Chains A and B, each alone.
Chain A
Amino acid sequence: MNIIEIRNLSKIYDEKTVPVYALNGVDLAFKEGEFTCIVGPSGSGKTTMLNMLGGLDSPSAGGIRIGDTDITSLRSRQLIDFRLRNIGFVFQSFNLIPVLTAKENVEFIMQMQGIKKDQRDKRTMELLNAVGLADKVNTRPGKLSGGQQQRVAVARALASKPRFILADEPTANLDSKSAENLLEIMEKLNREENITFIFSTHDARVVAKARRVVTLEDGRIVADVSKN
């Protein structure tokens, strides 16, 4: 069963002046438990596609179905709520709320979902444990390294028990060791907990970890390779 289906997706920027076809009729589907990497040269449309998948931007044409929901038909408030309950995000940088500790950053999402305190506490600790940051619970992002911050971001993305996690170049600002460490954690979560990850990267070593690699060029899919 596909958890995400993209049909004939197009995104045209600056339609009225000099149109840029960032995505050009993309058809794509993702299954539960995937560990998929989107690659392609700069400007090929990776960020654009992840933004559409995450419901952060609306397509010029085509549809996106997540579970039973056609997210392109949701109104703004509904879409925000949909993101809260279904999608986890890891951004390239400055992911976290600077005035909240690692624990509070993770807990925050569950609080917005209305989960009770004792449950929140339990899950937060589990998640920070899973990303290897049990000792940084009460540290604020400013005092964490870039790699540690990204791991907190992964924990936060997982907190809401989303259907899948989107990560646009999560390792771009990390040194190679931290990047490798982050990928290992993601991979472990994918393997052991069947968490679905869709991420983009320019880093060949990150690509190597992926089990499916989708290649974009000029807003079109030019390759879609699964290794098993």
Chain B
Amino acid sequence: MAALQQQQPTLNPVWLAQSRLRRRKFDECIEVCTNILDKNPYDQAVWYLKTRALTLKNWIDDLEIEEEGVADVLMDEHQVAQVPRPGTSLSRPLTSSGGSGAPSQAVRPMTGSGRPLTGFARPATSSRPTTSANGRVGTASLQQALKGSKPGTARPVTTSGRFVRLGTASLASEPGGPFIAVDRLDLRKYAARPLLARVLCDYLIYTEHNMKRALELCALATQVSEYQDWWWKSRLGKCYYQLGLLRDAERQFKSALGQGQSATSAGGAALGLGPGANGLNGGAVMISCVLELCKIYLRMDQPNTALEQYTSALAAHPGDSSLLLGIARVYDALREAEKAVSFYKNVLFHDASNVEAIACLAAHHFYTDQPEIALRYYRRLLQMGVTNAELWNNLGLCCFYASQYDMCLGCFDRALTLADDNALPDIWYNIGQTAVGIGDLALAYQAFKIAISLNPNHAEALNNLGVLEYRKGNDDSAAALFRSGQREGSHVFEVFFNGALLAYKAGDFQVSFELVNQALEAYPEHTESHELLKQLKAHFTML
């Protein structure tokens, strides 16, 4: 050890930086590079290393759909059809649960965007999935749009705005200001040097989040490469996407895919050194391009086109779990549960430890009345080392419904100890559900009250508390709870139906009629709502 320490000063610092970059010790690498650059600011190799280290440090996987901003939701102009046909749009999935194998809405709860709850929470699952304006978007939903997906949070103004903030935050943490003065760069000069241009491009995208400059650089570099380089096109597409120009982005990715395919067939993409990090072989790049292209199609609410893209990419890369997962997600969102399940199973065949696939399969089995199988899947997750409040909560529910009572409450106990503020309301809500299941209404009442105090927007808890109040005979407070539930969740048909039933019993037919119509809007096949509507209509037409 001592010998090593003596030798260290003699180590070539550039080599050291390189080694540290390879070992992903980015901070140390940046430190070494900064020292060298202080002495010689024009050392291109070191500049390359530092840029790369900074980029990798701030790297985020942007293949998932991120949360949309207020402006993206309200000022959406990428909509294809005002009233899409069922099955062709994420906002208008197949209505009937019959045939598709999906459990009905009465069994499987909905998210705020009016889609069935998935087994795995991704950024897009709880919020509005696409740009297509369905019935919920309009002036009435301005409030909804401003509301964040989590209680007490606000949505970002725009997605790109948020990235800009991320960029400024990452720059503010750097001592001595930003490493590269982006506005003063002569991009034309960089564009002529392919390797430097690539690291600079990634730096602009991932560290600075300066999409406009990155776009300029990409455009120049594409020109220099005579429109033959798919890498630049895919980066161009990424820039366009983040600027919200979905159609342009689509064109670039499509073009990149066409070129990429020819490059791969011509013996592999030569740019192994390409700083794209995922660009080691043509295959991986192709997948990332397909994934980004499909992300655009999903944003534009064209799930069937996305499915086509995924499927054609699968022909080139059979068994790729990210593509399979993409297909499964789209089917899930379209409420074609049987197909989704078969693809999730396919994912597990190729990648037996895929958390998302396991969680989604577990959720599917739970909601199709096979909690004992769901329990198996969740146990597998536990064995894989996933420990979080949500998992314990789900285990508790599975144990309860599979009548393994001795383990059920222990799971909830663990969930409570592990939970943070976001998960707690849901856990208390589920405890309340369990309490209703064993008939302990006092416990249920307390649990629902706790859930509401932690998250006043918890429409389901408000609904169940309202039912409990109604059973106690407190019709007024039940009606008040239903009303606040209706304000919070337009996707929860139960609140509307219960409110309608209460109003009907109180003889307030007009209110009941309005509420039951809203319930049917949220769940068009609800039989009880139809019955109530029929009774109301009979009352209205009766002489």
A, B: real partners? no
Chain A positions within 8 Å of B, measured between CB atoms, are: none
Chain B positions within 8 Å of A, measured between CB atoms, are: none
